[in-house]
Structure 1
Amino acid sequence: MTIAPKLAALAVLLREEHVLLVQRRNPPDAGLWGFPGGHVEPGETALAAASRELLEETGVTAQPLRYLTNIDVIRHDHDGVLQFHFLLAAVLCAYDRGEAQARDDADAAQWHPVTSVLAGQLACSRHVDDVLRCALEA
């Protein structure tokens, strides 16, 4: 069985030296903090998906500004068999309105100090710090 890569989008949102993160409810990163995001629907741009997923997971609205980077998430089982392959498009967004509330598949949604995230004081998904650095440089 061939597993094709799936496209997903991440909403990267900075506000007053804080970054909005969600704590994942579902595997593969259940319990870890990461950017709001999810699957890109057929016919939808990753920019639009990032904004939609942000609203669905947090209740916050934002305007997608531009792509920051892409991340391949590839996982194999203990025998080396491919389990899944996601290509994540990280999208820088500009805050519009809304209070962060956990919705959809998030257990929590909170604004975290950028310095805490970069210092590793939060249990985050892989590459959260790398993407955050890209956002700060933008």
Structure 2
Amino acid sequence: MTAPIARPIPATIAAVVRDGHVLLVRRANPPDENCWAFPGGKIDAGESIEAATVRELREETGVVAEPLYVFDAVDVFDRDEAGALRRHFILIAVLCRWQSGEPVAGDDARDARWIPLADLEGHELATSFGVARLARKAAALMAAA
């Protein structure tokens, strides 16, 4: 068992919406292993939110996108089987405009693909907490852009 992290861990997630689809990865590792989530990861020391977003997106999917702006933030609490807090992530959601590439799973992603926004409304697709809400918000922002 690992000791709890004393402070929240800043991380970024890339919200890329294109043609009624959102780019998601199936997570290969905890938290939320095997769930569909936005590509993203920890922000390295000295790295900007935008640079971390571009890096993580490319590492996990091979897709290149332009980060536009931060549009939300989400708390993720990783707990052990007994409910004790292991890690607390603060996920900074960045709206991104697709530039090139088609998703190919890489790094810690088990799968990567464009998921129809409509598929997020049902419960057939196991997603990380908040994915459907953030995807709807990102789609609305891209439509207005």
Gaps of 5+ in 1: none
Q: CA RMSD in A?
A: 1.5
Q: How many residues align?
A: 138
Moved more, 111-120 or 57-66: 111-120
C-alpha distance in structure 2 between counterparts of 1:137 and 1:120, whole Å: 21
Q: Which residue of 1 aligns with 2:111?
A: 108
Question: Aligned to 1:74, which of 45, 62, 77?
Answer: 77
AA in 2 matched with 1:115: A
C-alpha distance in structure 1 between counterparts of 2:109 and 2:99, whole Å: 20
Q: TM-score, normalised by structure 2?
A: 0.88
Gaps of 5+ in 2: none
Q: TM-score, normalised by structure 1?
A: 0.93
AA in 2 matched with 1:89: I
Q: Percent identity?
A: 44
Alignment check: 8 A CA contact 1:75 1:85 kept: yes
Alignment check: 8 A CA contact 1:3 1:82 kept: no
CA displacement at 1:80 relative to structure 2 = 4.9
C-alpha distance in structure 2 between counterparts of 1:103 and 1:9, whole Å: 17
AA in 2 matched with 1:126: F
CA displacement at 1:78 relative to structure 2 = 5.4
